[in-house]
Amino acid sequence: MSKTQKIVIITVAVALVVAVVAFCIFYFLGLTGIHHHSEPKEGQIKVACVGDSITYGHGISDWGKNNYPAQLQGMLGDDYHVANFGHSARTLSPDGDRPYIESEQYRLSLEYDADIVVIMLGTNDSKPANWVNEEDFIKKYDNFINSYKENNPDVKIILCTPAKCYLPVKDNYGDLDIRSEVVDVIKDATYSYATTKGYTIVDIYALTDNHEEWFGDKIHPSKDGAKVMAEAIADMVRIVANA
């Protein structure tokens, strides 16, 4: 084997090791976008967690254990099967820059045929390119929910307000474009819509308010924030399942 061949082999081996290590780190932090769904067992109550990167668990340490749907599964136990259908950067609006309904996770969440669907969307709708007004948002929210009801007329819906956004207003037009003042409007609109329509609502905004320590990047909750979210959602899931 020539010296050049040895160098090539060593270079390739090092590159593979670096790639594997990098993948493991990114997966551990919930930055890969990869999902792993186990198959529900007969008799389990199926819970679909639908949402954006906050549902997916972007940036959470030990992602496989600490994203909120994973923690929710642990809290609910074997009578339930919880599936994470979160997809980063997605909007509720079908006219947004990255609509959830155009994602693979949306299709899979419909095919899952859940008994209970937990929806937490709206943060990315606050971007200037996506936001129209409250009335427009609610109309599109209603259409979105109806797509699950048309798929399964017996499905039970739990709505969640967006989490508190800690981006200062003056910084809201940076790379992310998420505007905290519009998230506030979306929070109020979601809560009002849910109570008017009679849907179960979990006020994630209220739970995460005054807890900036959970939000290292000002948007995505840590495992501690996800735990508090999961606890509140678990309570509502049990109530809805037994109603």
Q: Give every CB contact of residue 84 below 8 A, 6+ residues apart in sequence.
A: 35, 37, 49, 55, 56, 57, 67, 69, 70
Partnered with residue 99 across adjacent β-strands are 91
pLDDT at 18: 37
What is the CB neighbour count within 10 angstroms for residue 34?
Answer: 12
Tell me: the pLDDT tens digits for 224-242? 999 999 999 999 999 999 9
How far, CA to CA in Å, does 9 sit from each of 19, 137, 200, 213?
A: 15, 55, 59, 46
Beta strands in the chain (DSSP E): 45-51, 80-86, 116-120, 156-160, 200-202
Q: Among 14, 73, 67, which Cα is nearest to 38's? A: 73
Residues 29 and 2: their CA atoms lie apart, in Å, by: 41
Lowest pLDDT segment from 7-21, 87-101, 105-119, 156-170 = 7-21
Lowest pLDDT segment from 7-11, 50-54, 149-153, 189-193 = 7-11
pLDDT band at 58, cuts 50/70/90? very high
- Segments making up each domain of the chain, as ranges: 33-241
| Share above pLDDT 70 across residues of the chain, in percent, rounded to a whole number | 82
Q: For residue 129, with 0-12 CB atoms within 10 Å meaning exposed, 13-18 middle and 19 or more buried, which class applies?
A: exposed
pTM score, whole prediction: 0.85
Residues 18 and 24: their CA atoms lie apart, in Å, by: 10
Residues 153 and 158: their CA atoms lie apart, in Å, by: 15
Q: Which CATH architecture has domain 33-241?
A: 3-Layer(aba) Sandwich (3.40)
Tell me: the pLDDT tens digits for 162-217? 999 999 876 545 556 899 999 999 999 999 999 999 999 999 999 999 999 999 99
* DSSP-derived pairing of the beta strands 80-86 and 116-120: unpaired
Buried-exposed string 145-167: b where 16+ CB fall within 10 A, e elsewhere: beebeeeeeebbbbbbbbbbbbb
How far, CA to CA in Å, does 102 sit from each of 20, 98, 99, 152, 220?
A: 30, 8, 6, 19, 23
